Amino acid sequence: MEKAYKLLAKQQRISNNKAKEIIDRGLVFVEDKKVKIARAELPDDTRFRVENVADVKIIYEDDNIVAINKPAQVDSYDIQDAIEGAELLHRLDRDTSGVLLLGRNEKFIKDAINEFKNRRVKKEYVAWVEGIVFEETVIDTPILTIKKGKAFSKIDDRIGKKAYTVINPVEIQGKKSKVDIEIKTGRTHQIRVHLSSIGHPVLGDEQYGSRTQTKRILLHSKKMSIFNYTFEAPEPNDISRYK
């Protein structure tokens, strides 16, 4: 028996730190099961499969803004660090793919952040969720976020902050549904906790109750509009065609 990251480092001929990193990013599997704990003890003959991460693509850029099609499994801050002179206007969770916006100059960044704060940015997502969604559903329960260690959000009617999410059914496969989502607010994990609260957690989102194993949380930022800009990111294969 040996720790997972040490076995992976030997098999991939990489450093132990690099092996820990890619396990933590959710890219390492044994058959179809994700390796979640880098220090987990595994048999010496365990064979790993490492998922490749799609390339980061620029949708559009000018002197004010950069719109990125962010792949899943890439941290928003890593993208910021890779684009000189650009600053994140918002963030997407590591597992979430799609439109990510950065600003290029101080005035635009200030004005854009004000648009987000005043809920004037239109944000549209698409996801696969547990259960069958038949009709439009509005979720407006307040959300409280706890940021000690790994961030976690929950519904809290007493001290939670206002949050507003609208979902519409797109497709049903067995007991899973594809839904379009629009959010008016931008609370931490808002979509994930709101959908979980009505019994439809996003597929692969074990933190908020999904029992379906997937390579990542099946949530995609498909369209975003700010000022006179509108950006769209095509659905990746795991969103456009589930299973």
Question: In CATH, what number is assigned to the domain containing residue 93?
Answer: 3.30.2350.10
pLDDT digits (tens, 9 = 90+) for 62-88: 999 999 999 998 889 989 988 889 999
Burial track 133-147 (b if 16+ CB lie within 10 A, e otherwise): beeebebebebbbee
Instruction: For residues 168 and 216, state if they share a domain.
Output: yes
Domain count, the chain: 2
Instruction: For residues 175 and 111, state if they share a domain.
Output: yes
- The pTM for the full model equals 0.83
- All residue ranges of the chain with pLDDT < 50 are none
Any catalytic annotation for residue 93?
yes
Marked catalytic residue, from 63, 93, 157, 238 = 93
**What local confidence, expressed as pLDDT, does residue 31 receive?**
80
3-state secondary structure of 219: strand
Q: Are 65 and 108 in contact (CB under 8 A)?
A: yes
Percent helix, strand, coil in the chain, to 5, is: 20, 35, 45
Instruction: For residues 33 and 129, state if they share a domain.
Output: no
| Longest alpha-carbon distance in the chain | 58
The helix or strand, by DSSP H or E, that contains position 70, with its residue range, turns out to be: strand 65-70
Instruction: For residues 173 and 192, state if they share a domain.
Output: yes
φ, ψ at 73 (rounded to 5°)? 75, 10
Instruction: For residues 64 and 177, state if they share a domain.
Output: yes
What's the domain range around 89?
57-240
